[in-house]
Structure 1
Amino acid sequence: MPRTKEDDARPVRGKAATINDIARLAGVSKKTVSRIINRSPLVRADTRDKVETLMREVGYVPDPMARGLAFRRSFLIGMIYDNPTAQYIVDIQYGALDALRDSGFELVVHPCDSRSPNYVDGVRRFVQQQKLHGVMLVPRVSEDQALADMLDDVGCRYARIAAVALDAPDRIVVTHDRDGAAEVADYLQSLGHREVAMITGPAAYRSAIERTHGFVGALQRRGIELPPSRLVEAGYTFESGVAAAEKLLGAKKRPTAIFCGNDEMAAGVYRVALRTGIQIPKQLSVVGYDDSPLASRLWPPLTSVRRDTRDTGRMAAAMLLQTDGAPRPLSSVRPHLVIRDSCQPPA
C-alpha cells in the first residue's frame, strides 16, 4: 500500500515522537505546540484539543530537561525534610504527587539533617544544581527561618508546612496542632480522667511545642494541673515512646490516661503496658496524634487526632504551581479527634 503524505509526517516506528513531529502532523507551528504543552491561554480551544489528541495518539511525552533549558529552569518541585516519622513523609509525598499529576512537573526529594551546622548550604546546592521551580518545606525544616531566608536569596519559591502561620499566606499551609491537642484534653476530661500524662515530641519541633501548649492549656482551663513529672519529652519514635512509657508507668502513682504526641510513641506505650500487665483501656487510656494507618492496626484500635497529611502535601505542592500572583487566603488543614477503643472512664 503506497505511503501518504500523512504517513511520511509520522515518526518512524520505534523512534520517539518529537515536538517537530507533532507540529507537522497537526499543521501548526512548533511555537503553538510549545504553548499547549506549557498550558498557555493564548491558544484556541479547538487547536489545543486537536494537538493534545494527537500527542496522546503517538505517545508524545515532553522532555522535562528540554523544557527546563528553554525556560532556564527545571520542571521539578523539591521536597526537603528532616522528620523521623516515615508514614508522615510518605503521605506528604502522595499528596504532592496528587497535585503535580498532569502538570508536567515532577517531584524530587531531599532528606537532610537539620542538626548539621552546614545543612542550609547543602539545601542551597541541591536547589541550584537541580534548578528547582520551587520547594516544599516539611516540619521540622519548615520551621527554620534561616532556610526560608536562603531560598529567598537564591530566588527559589517555597511552601512551608507548619503548626502555626510562620509566613505569608501564599507561602504556608497551617496545621493548627494546638487545636487538635486541646480536643484531646477536653475528651479525656469528659471521661473523668484527672490523673493524666503526656509524652511530647522533641522540644526543637514547633509541632511538639504547639501540641504541648494546647493539651496543658486546655487541662488548666478545666482546673487540671499537669505536674512536670507527668510531662515527658521523647523523639517522635517508637523506641522513645517505650522509654517515656517506662518512666510514667513505673512511677509509684500511675496516670490513668496518656496522650502521646504521635502514633509511633503511642505504640511504644502499648508495648510497655502489655509487658507490665496493664490493660488498655480498662486500666489505662491512650491517645495518639496523626491517625496514621498504625492507629487502626493496634489492639485495641487507637484513639488519635486526625490531620489530613495527604491533603496537606497536595495543598503545599499546588501552592508552588500558582503563578498569577493573586492574593491568597491562609491555607489550613484542621485536625479532629477520631475516637476508637483505647479510652474509657478511669476505673
Structure 2
Amino acid sequence: MEAVTWTLDRPPTINDVARLAHVSKKTVSRVINQSPFVNEETRTIINGIIEQIGYVPSPQARGLAFQRSFLLGLVYDNPNAQFIVNIQEGVLAACRLAGFELVVHPCDQKSPHFLNDAKQFVQRQNLDGVIVVPPASENPQLVEVLRDLGCRYVRLSAVSLDEAANMVVYNDRQGAAEVAEHLAALGHRDIGFIAGPSRHRSAHERRESFVSALKSHGITLRPEMVEEGAYTFESGEVCATRLLTREPRPTAIFASNDEMAAGVYKTAQRLGISIPRDLTIVGFDDSPIATRLWPSLTTVRLPAKDLGRLAAEKLIIRISSDEEEGHTATGVVSRMVVRESSVPPRG
C-alpha cells in the first residue's frame, strides 16, 4: 500500500478514510468495530490508512452517523463481587477494541421496581445492547422487557435458556464432577458440601453433578452434610461452623465458590482444625483469593473474564452488522486446578 500523508488543516474523518481506501463508510465502520465480515486485505488497507493519517473515531460522530450510542449495558444481581469484576474486565476488553463503552446497572430482583428500573436504564442510556449476568439472566420477565424495547441482549448462564444468538453458556457440571472424582480418588468418604443459593441455576448444576459423580464412586452425600450458602464469605463461615461441629466431622468440604471456601478457612482456623491435614477444602471459580489463601486453594477454574469478553464480542458483532449474526452457540468449560488444600484423609 502506498504511503498516505494527511495535509489538510482539520482532523480526518471516517469519510476521508473511506475515500482513501476506495471503500464505503460502512466497511470502514465494520473494520473499526472488529467485525469478522471484512476480508483481511481490505482490513489491512483500512487499518493502515487509519494509522497513517491519524484518524480517531469520534463517539458523537459515530453515534450520529450510524444512529447508535456505542454503549453496552451490564445488568447484574449477584453477591459474588469478584465474579462481577472479572466479567466486567472481559466485557471492557472487547469494548475497547471495538470502540464501545460500558455502563453497569446493579439491580435487586426482590425489589418491586426491578423490571421498571431495568427498562428505564436501557431507555435513559439509549443502549445498543445489554449483557445480563446470572441470576438476573435467568429471569424471563427481564428478557421480555428487553425484547419489547427492541434491545439486543446476551445472557450468561450455566444452561442454555434462549436462542444460541442470545446465549453464552458455561459448563459447571464438568467442574463439579471433577471435584467429586478428585475427592473420591484421594479416599474421602465423609464429605461436606456448601451449596450456592437455590435461586441460582449454577447452584443446581454444581450440586446435581457433584452428587451424581459421587454416586458413581459408591459415595452418598448425606443430607446432614449439606448446607446452603449465599455465595458470600460470611455464609461460608456459617455453613462451615454447622458442618465442622457435627459428629462425625467431614474430612473434606466442597464449597460452591471460592468466597464461601475462604469462609471455611476462617472457621477451621477458629476451631483449631488444620488445613489440609485435618480438612481438605475445594472451591469453585479460581478467583484471585484462591492463590492468596494459605495453603493455596484447590478449586475449579471458571474463566469469567472469557465469559464477559465472549458475550461482548457476540453482542458487538450483532449490533455492527445488518444481519443477525452470531447464531452459533458460545460457551466455556470449567476445569479443576489442584493446589495445596486437598490431600488424602488422615488414617
Candidates 139, 142, 147, aligned match of 2:137: 142
Candidates 58, 63, 76, aligned match of 1:68: 63
Distance 1:50 1:192 in 2: 61
The answer for the alignment partner of 2:336 in structure 1 is: 337
Amino acid at match of 2:13: I
Structure 1 residues 327 and 264: alpha-carbon distance in aligned structure 2, compared to 1, 3 A threshold: closer
Structure showing greater radius of gyration is 1
Candidates 3, 8, 19, aligned match of 2:13: 19
Structure 1 residues 218 and 43: alpha-carbon distance in aligned structure 2, compared to 1, 3 A threshold: closer
Structure 1 residues 326 and 43: alpha-carbon distance in aligned structure 2, compared to 1, 3 A threshold: closer
Distance 1:26 1:203 in 2: 53
The answer for the alignment partner of 1:198 in structure 2 is: 193
- Indicate if the aligned counterparts of 1:77 and 1:105 stay in contact, CA closer than 8 A: yes
Distance 1:345 1:45 in 2: 58
SS at match of 2:263: helix
> 1:97 offset after TM fit, Å?
2.1
Distance 1:27 1:316 in 2: 33
Amino acid at match of 1:294: I
Correspondence list, 1:120-269, <5 A? 120-269=115-264
Distance 2:331 2:142 in 1: 22
Provide TM-score, normalisation by structure 2: 0.87
- Indicate if the aligned counterparts of 1:79 and 1:108 stay in contact, CA closer than 8 A: yes
Distance 2:246 2:39 in 1: 71
Candidates 288, 296, 299, aligned match of 2:283: 288
SS at match of 1:322: helix
Query: Could you report, residue by residue, the CA deviation over 1:66-104 in whole angstroms, capped at 9, with x for unpaired residues?
Result: 322333331111111111122211111121122223312
Q: Is the counterpart of residue 36 in structure 1 residue 28 in structure 2?
A: yes
Distance 1:136 1:271 in 2: 35
What is the root-mean-square deviation in Å for CA atoms of aligned residues?
2.7
Unmatched segments (≥5 aa) in structure 2: 1-5
Amino acid at match of 1:178: R
Correspondence list, 1:96-135, <5 A? 96-135=91-130
> 1:322 offset after TM fit, Å?
2.2
> 1:45 offset after TM fit, Å?
6.3
- Indicate if the aligned counterparts of 1:37 and 1:62 stay in contact, CA closer than 8 A: no
- Indicate if the aligned counterparts of 1:266 and 1:286 stay in contact, CA closer than 8 A: yes
Distance 2:213 2:327 in 1: 31
> 1:219 offset after TM fit, Å?
1.5
Query: Could you report, residue by residue, the CA deviation over 1:279-321 in whole angstroms, capped at 9, with x for unpaired residues?
Result: 1111110000001111111111100001111111111111102
SS at match of 1:337: strand
Distance 1:44 1:258 in 2: 52
Unmatched segments (≥5 aa) in structure 1: 1-5, 12-16
Query: Could you report, residue by residue, the CA deviation over 1:6-39 in whole angstroms, capped at 9, with x for unpaired residues?
Result: 86x313xxxxx3639x73x99769x955752454
Structure 1 residues 44 and 258: alpha-carbon distance in aligned structure 2, compared to 1, 3 A threshold: closer
The answer for the alignment partner of 1:328 in structure 2 is: 327
The answer for the alignment partner of 1:14 in structure 2 is: none
Amino acid at match of 2:214: L
Amino acid at match of 1:271: K
Structure 1 residues 276 and 325: alpha-carbon distance in aligned structure 2, compared to 1, 3 A threshold: same
- Indicate if the aligned counterparts of 1:19 and 1:33 stay in contact, CA closer than 8 A: no
- Report which stretch shifted further, 262-271 or 117-126: 117-126
SS at match of 1:79: strand
Structure 1 residues 293 and 86: alpha-carbon distance in aligned structure 2, compared to 1, 3 A threshold: same
> 1:160 offset after TM fit, Å?
0.8
Structure 1 residues 102 and 179: alpha-carbon distance in aligned structure 2, compared to 1, 3 A threshold: closer
Q: Percent identity between the aligned chains?
A: 48
Distance 2:39 2:172 in 1: 45
Amino acid at match of 1:328: H
> 1:166 offset after TM fit, Å?
0.9
The count of aligned residue pairs is 333
Query: Could you report, residue by residue, the CA deviation over 1:122-178 in whole angstroms, capped at 9, with x for unpaired residues?
Result: 111111122211111111111111111211111111111100111111111111112
Distance 2:241 2:39 in 1: 66
The answer for the alignment partner of 1:3 in structure 2 is: none
SS at match of 2:91: helix
